[in-house]
Amino acid sequence: MKNCLFCKIVAGTIPSSKVYEDDKILAFKDINPQAPVHVLVIPKTHIASVDEISEENSGIIAYIFENIPQIAKIAGLKNGYRVISNCGPDACQTVPHLHFHIVGGAPLADKMA
């Protein structure tokens, strides 16, 4: 989608530090890491947020989660991690292209919000 930051990262017009890529998904390091390891996993097709997941496009969501264990391994996570997706204004979603944060590499806060 034109003017979508993460679509531009998929297209390569904005550079990213890639952790994993195949024909359907891309994982790259967050530019402003909130933990020692902070990777974003996105579908290459534009889906705005979790709120846009439907029966028609949910195959890519399953595919992302099938790949998260190996992405976590590639990122060096050995002792667990948190998977987060912020959806909409109350959750402070800042980039309207569906992404899953994988954070870890140290003990995280025991509260999520």
Binding track, positions 27-66, relative to Zn ion; x by CB under 5 A? -------------------x--------------------
Shortest CB 50 distance to Zn ion, Å: 14
State how far the Cα of 70 lies from the Cα of 50, in Å rounded to an integer: 22
| Binding at 95: pick from ligand 5GP, Zn ion, none (beta carbon under 5-8 Å per type) | ligand 5GP
Based on the shown chain and the rule CB under 5 A, indicate whether residue 99 belongs to the binding site for Zn ion: no
Whole-angstrom CA distances from 99 to 32, 44, 107 are: 15, 10, 22
The backbone torsions φ and ψ at residue 104, rounded to the nearest 5 degrees and listed phi first, read 175, -155
Task: Reply yes or no on whether 46 is catalytic.
Answer: no
**Terminal alpha carbon distance of the chain:** 31
Shortest CB 20 distance to Zn ion, Å: 18
Size of the site for Zn ion (CB under 5 A): 6
Q: How many helices (H) and strands (E) in the chain? A: 2, 5
Active site residues: 99
